Amino acid sequence: MKTKELYSGKAKTIYRTDNPEQMIADFRDSLTAFDGKKKSEASKKGYYNAQISRKLFEMLEAEGIRTHYIDMVSDTEMLVDALEIILIEVIPRNIAAGSITRTYPIKEGTRFEKPVIVLDYKSDEHGDPMLNEDIAVTMGIATYEEIAHIREMALKINALLTDYLYSKDLILVDFKLEFGRKDGEIVLADEISCDTCRLWDKTTGKSLDKDVFRFGGGDVTSTYEEVARRLVPEIF
C-alpha cells in the first residue's frame, strides 16, 4: 500500500509503501525534454510507458537479468524493489543519434560496429555531464568493479532488447539505463520505455519515441500507442 510520496521526477512519482523494501513508481502523463525546458502532457503516456516497461522487465528477468520490477499494482503503478540508486545514466548506443552527433563529428544514422556505452553523471544540477570510470570512482559514485559489472549488464541488456524489439519491427537506436544496489547485487532500475529509448520503425525509419515530442514530429499519444500495440498487444 502507498504511504508517503518520496519524490516526484519529470515523468514518475515514487511512493514509499508499508514495506520498507518496496516502493511504488507511478508513471505520469507529463513529458519534458531539453533538461526540462520543454514541458507538456500527453494522455495515456504514463499508461503505455508503464506497460511497455513491465513487458521489457519481464522479458529481461526471464533471460536472467535482475530488475527492480515486482508487480503492477494498477495500470500505471509499478511495485519495485527499494534500491540504493547509482548516479550514473548508462547509455548503450547502436546507431548514432542525439547528443553523440552534436558533441562529436559522428553523423546521425552511423551504425556502430560494436555498441558504444556512454556513462553520464545523473545530476540535473550539473547538466548530466559525461563520466569516465576515474571520475565516477573519485566522486564515490561506484567502484571500478561495479562499473565493469554495469557495463557488462548493459551490453547483455542491449543485445536482448535489440533482438526482442527487432522481432516487433523496431530498431533500438539507443536507450538509457539506471542501476541500483540491493543486498550487494547490482539491479536494473528505473524504466525502459518510449521516454528512455530511441526506436525507429524497421520499415519506414520513423521515430517511435520521445523524439516526436522533442522535435515536434508527431503526436505523442498515438506514437506511444503504436509501440504499445506491438509490445503489449494484450492491453488492447
Residues that bind ligand UDP (CB under 6 A): 89, 91, 98-100, 128, 174-176, 196-198, 210
How far apart are CB 21 and ligand UDP at their closest, in Å? 26
Shortest distance, position 184 Cβ to ligand UDP, whole Å: 27
Nearer residue to ligand UDP within complex by CB, 21 or 124: 124
Quick one: 110 or 143, whose CB is closer to ligand UDP? 110
Q: Which is nearer to ligand UDP, 174 or 226 (CB)?
A: 174
Shortest distance in whole angstroms from residue 92 CB to ligand UDP: 9
Confirm if 31 and 213 have CB atoms less than 8 A apart: yes
Pick the closest to residue 210 from 185, 235, 227, 233 (CA basis): 227
Helices within the chain (DSSP H only): 45-62, 99-103, 133-138, 144-166, 211-214, 220-231
For ligand UDP, the closer of residues 91 and 154 by Cβ is 91
CB contact at 8 A, 41 and 30: yes
**Distance in angstroms (rounded) separating the CA atoms of residues 18 and 226:** 36
Minimum distance of ligand UDP from residue 33's CB (angstroms):
7
Q: Which residue number is nearest to ligand UDP in terms of Cβ?
A: 98
